[in-house]
Amino acid sequence: MLKFILIAVAVILVTIGLVKLVDKFIPAKFKPFLNIALWLLIAFFGYQTYMSIYEPIQFNKVKNKRYAVVIESLKDIRDSQLAHRQVTGKFSKDFDGLIKFIDTAEYTITQRRDSSIIDEDLTKRYGVDTFKSIVIIDTLGFVSVKDSLFKTSSRYKNMMNVPVGEEGAKFKMQAGFLEQNNIKIPVFEAIVKKSVLLNDQNKDLIMQENQVVSVDGVNGDALKVGSMDEVNTNGNWPKTYGANE
CB of 137 closer than 8 Å to CB of 112: yes
Distance between first and last Cα of the chain? 35
- 106-118/222-226 β-pairing: unpaired
- Cα 164 to its chain centre, rounded Å, is 12
Closest CA to 11 of 36, 44, 37, 35: 44
User: What per-residue confidence (pLDDT) applies to 36?
Assistant: 73
Per-residue pLDDT tens digits of the chain, which is 245 residues long: 555 556 556 666 666 666 666 666 666 666 676 667 766 766 676 666 666 677 888 999 999 999 999 999 999 999 999 999 999 999 999 999 999 999 999 866 656 777 777 777 777 777 777 777 777 666 665 689 999 999 999 999 999 999 999 999 999 999 999 998 899 999 999 999 999 999 999 999 999 999 988 888 899 999 999 999 999 999 999 988 877 77
Helices (H), 26-155: 31-88, 95-104, 120-126, 145-150
User: What per-residue confidence (pLDDT) applies to 143?
Assistant: 81
| Angstrom distance (rounded) from CA 243 to CA 234 | 9
Contacts of 58 (CB under 8 A, 6+ apart): none
User: What per-residue confidence (pLDDT) applies to 155?
Assistant: 96
